[in-house]
Each structure stands twice: as structure tokens, then as C-alpha cells.
Structure 1
Amino acid sequence: MKPRDTQTFLIAAIIVLIGIIAYLILFPCITPADAPPEKAPDARDTLYQVSTINALLQSVYDGIVPISEAQMHGDTAIGTTDGLDGELIGVDGGYYVIRSDGVAYPLDGTITTPFISATFFDPDFTIPVNDTADISGFGEQLESGLPSANMFYAIRMDGTFDYVKTRSMPKQTRPYPKLADVVAEQSVFEFHNTTGTIVGFWSPDFVSGFNVPGYHIHFITDDRTAGGHVLDLRMNDGEIKVDITPDLYIVLPTEGDFYHVNLTEDLSSALESVEKS
């Protein structure tokens, strides 16, 4: 090849190389004008859940997910901790467990949970509450204000409550008893004219076995020192803040007791005794 031809070839090769580099740099930025925009799932409207309520009723108490992981999926939560050790509540990003001594303990991120429901709480509307004489009245007023019985809702109430009755379960050791039997060991606490926060979830009937149909709520005092699973309450005027939560994300145990329990049984009677007793 002559020197002039060699020089011409090199110039052409450089031009081609520059074109390839420019294409690689610019191509990711070029999309068709009519291409639909990609939309990532909205994690703030997702109900994140570990395991199922029927698994908990069937003594699946070993924690499988660390609290630090649950906190990545929600600033508001209810559930329990490893070994059924107390009533878990997440409020404003802080996670606590009310143990059988009635004290609310801040949770370390390494502690694990066998069952939890969590979401990021962004209220969509409010429901007024008037002269709630007991928890049944609370439930009736809540459900009358929901736009659909086929959705999940996160709920929250802040204020001064005339009366709140709560409970907590003691930590269990193997061989684990059924949850309905553990209720006989529960500790019960009563609060009068106390200021605090109630958070929880309302779930549709069709998720029976997956979560608690209807409302499931926990309470913690304003100073974050006490609370528990709510059994009863009384209050005057107030409001329930409601967050519609249409997306679901569930984490199931990949080993242990969950693999062997029968989750097809109708455990509605056992659940009723656990939740309302």
C-alpha cells in the first residue's frame, strides 16, 4: 500500500471510530417520540407483608426478616417479633415492641419478625369519629367511610383517648403452642385519658387466611413507652386518617415450620378469639 493510500485509510478508520463512539454515547438518550414512559411501582402505595396470619395462628413464630428490612418498606407497621415476643408497632419510621411487661421497647434493626404488615403512610382522606363508646363503634364508623370493601387501607388515629384496652403476648419457646392457646397467657393493659397513636390496617374479607379481615390495630402512647394490640377503646370527637394501599408485596418463609403446616384450614374462629378476646 502506498503512503498516500495508508494515510487515507487511517483517516477513514478514525472517522468510523468516532461515529461508533458518538452512537454509543447518544443512543441511550434517544427514544421514539411515541414510546410510552416507563413507570416504576409506587412503593409508598404498597402493603408489604411477611408470612400470613394463618401461619401465625399455626405457630410459625420464628423470625425470618430483620426489622431493618421491614423499615425499608414502610414507616407504619404492626406485627410481632421472633418467638411471638410482644406486639410490634411502627410509627413515623420508629419501630417498637410492647412486651408482656407493658413496656414499649425501641427495636434494633437486627431483630427479626415472623409476621408484619407495613407501608409508607400518606393519608388519602379522613373519616370523622363521633362518640365511640367501644371498639365495635369504631369499626362501624371506619367501615361506613371506606369507599370500597375490596381494597386494603392503612389507618391512623392521633389524639386523646378516653379509654384504650390493649394486650401483649409473652415470648414463646419450642415446642410452640397454637396462637389461640397463647391468648390465655396474654397481659392486658388499660389506659385512661391518654394521648397516643393508633395505627393498623383494614383488609377485605377475601384475604381471609392471608391477613386479618376487617381492622387490625395497635396503640402506642405519645411518649412511646407503652401500648399494645387494641382490644377496646372509647373516645369523643376525632378522625381516622386513611391511606388507600392497592399494591401487595408478600415475603414467605423459605424453610422451617412454614413448609409443613396446613394453611388451608378455616381458622376464622381461632382468629376471632385471638383478635377480639
Structure 2
Amino acid sequence: MAYNELYQYSVVSSLMEGIGETGIPYSELVTHGNHGLGTFRRMAGEMICLDNEVYQMKSDGSIVTIDPSTGNDVAPFAMVTRFQPSFTTSIAFDSKQGLSDIMTTLFPKTKNRYLSFRLDGLFKELHQRQTTYEFTDVRGSLIGFRSPEFLQGVSVAGDHLHFISDERDRGGHVLDCKSAGEVQFSGSIMSTVHMQLPDDDEYNEADLELDDDGIRKVEG
């Protein structure tokens, strides 16, 4: 794939229905991108793909490095891209909403398009899920995607973020965040989307419906 094109496997609504037994092998997923988010079989933790490495972030906040070339790890849902930022600057923010507002200012034409982004630096506060954890004064990387509101259920509408520490020993899905001074922000708009839908019986026989409230509650 070319730089800054989105590859997505499956849809968020399938996760909300508990469909998580099968998925795309990580050995195949990494051929589509080096920057992304996702999950694992039976939703056993969150995934972050960063700098050509894949990590599994478990429910206790710990991190496991995944070797896509070995094992049988699969992603029931994933979004990845070959990230090449079109804009880089330094920013400071005191909440996830504050970060969202800054990104809207930096990229005003993303209402109906995707945005990929990355932040590197020291973060004063991070509120994480799976089970809720709070990290303070931790240096690391936040990566994520902004998806259009009209695609809720296909993707997670709005800003979807995962964090991993520089030591690669802590991380997870981000519910809220605050920078400790300025951090480096990089981002790029994505207008080309490649989507692959599952072909197994569980997915094909599911009655998928939009659970907007459920998605917003689970994904923060």
C-alpha cells in the first residue's frame, strides 16, 4: 500500500457482538502498515503497531512484544497505515478533548475523512482501559486515528488512541490524557481506505446493528 492509506480489517460493530474468535493473521496485517490499532483473539488485550513492531497490551497494563512471523496470533479487528506525517509540530494539552480540539484546528478538513496521528513525549496523566489504570509522568507514544461520525460502527467515530511507554512496559487504550508541557505531534489525512471483511460463518450470520451508546461507553 502507498503511504497514508488506511487498511481496516472487519468493523467495530462485530466486536460489540462479541465476534472475536477468528481474524487476519498478524503476519499478513503488518504487510499493510506500520502504524495502527487493533485487538487479539477473544479480545485478549489491545494492540498497538508502532515503528514496525507489534505489541499486545494486556488487561493489567503490561506489554508483550509480538513476532508476527511466528505463532498464530490474529486480529479480529485492526486499522493500520504506512504512516508518513504531512505535518509535525509541538503541542500541549490538558485533556483528550483538548487534544481533539487542537487536531481539529491543525486539520480542519477531516470532518468526513480519516486522520492518523502520533504524539511523542512526556505525559502528565494517562487514564487507561482495559481495567482502568492511571499512569502519571510517563514518557512514551500516543498513536491513533480519527474517524468520521457517519462511520460509527464501521470504525470508532472520533478519536481512538492507544499509548505505549518508551520502555515498552506499560500501555493500553486511552480514555483521557494530559501532556507534561509540549510533546511532538505528527499527523496526516487519509482519503483512501482499503477494507477487508471476515468471511467466517460467525461474522456472516451475525445480526450487526449500530450500538452507538455501547461503542462510546466502551471506547471512551
TM-score by length of 2: 0.93
| CA distance, structure 2, for counterparts of residue 248 and residue 223 of structure 1 | 32
Alignment of 1:129-168 (within 5 A): 129-130=91-92, 132-148=93-109, 149-168=111-130
Share of identical aligned residues, percent?
A: 31
The answer as to whether partners of 1:62 and 1:113 remain within 8 angstroms in 2 is no
| CA distance, structure 1, for counterparts of residue 40 and residue 129 of structure 2 | 15
Structure 1 position 196, deviation (Å)? 0.2
Equivalent residue for 2:132? 188
Matched, 1:55 2:27: no
Equivalent residue for 2:80? 118
Equivalent residue for 1:101? 60
1:164-194 per-residue CA deviation (whole Å, 9 max, x = no partner) reads 11112xxxxxxxxxxxxxxxxxx22221111
Residue in structure 2 matching 1:272, options 212, 216, 220:
216
The answer as to whether partners of 1:81 and 1:114 remain within 8 angstroms in 2 is yes
| CA distance, structure 2, for counterparts of residue 127 and residue 205 of structure 1 | 26
Structure 1 position 237, deviation (Å)? 2.1
Matched, 1:257 2:218: no
Equivalent residue for 2:186? 241
| CA distance, structure 2, for counterparts of residue 63 and residue 200 of structure 1 | 23
1:16-70 per-residue CA deviation (whole Å, 9 max, x = no partner) reads xxxxxxxxxxxxxxxxxxxxxxxxxx52221011100111111111232111111
Structure (1/2) with the larger strand percentage: 2
Aligned CA RMSD, in angstroms, stands at 1.4
| CA distance, structure 2, for counterparts of residue 92 and residue 86 of structure 1 | 20
Equivalent residue for 1:19? none
Structure (1/2) with the larger helix percentage: 1
Equivalent residue for 1:211? 155
| CA distance, structure 2, for counterparts of residue 150 and residue 124 of structure 1 | 18
| CA distance, structure 1, for counterparts of residue 77 and residue 104 of structure 2 | 25
Highest Rg: 1 or 2? 1
Q: What is the total number of aligned residue pairs between the two structures?
A: 215
Equivalent residue for 2:166? 222
Structure 1 position 256, deviation (Å)? 2.6
Structure 1 position 216, deviation (Å)? 0.3
Question: In structure 2, the residue corresponding to 1:233 is in which secondary structure?
Answer: strand
| CA distance, structure 1, for counterparts of residue 88 and residue 119 of structure 2 | 10
The answer as to whether partners of 1:219 and 1:227 remain within 8 angstroms in 2 is yes
Structure 1 position 142, deviation (Å)? 1.6
TM-score by length of 1: 0.74
Structure 2 unpaired stretches of 5+: none
| CA distance, structure 1, for counterparts of residue 115 and residue 196 of structure 2 | 19
Matched, 1:81 2:81: no
| CA distance, structure 2, for counterparts of residue 107 and residue 114 of structure 1 | 16
Instruction: Give the number of the structure with larger relative contact order, counting CA–CA contacts within 8 Å between residues 6 or more apart.
Output: 2
The answer as to whether partners of 2:121 and 2:182 remain within 8 angstroms in 1 is no
| CA distance, structure 2, for counterparts of residue 266 and residue 244 of structure 1 | 25
Which segment is superposed worse, 224-233 or 56-65?
56-65
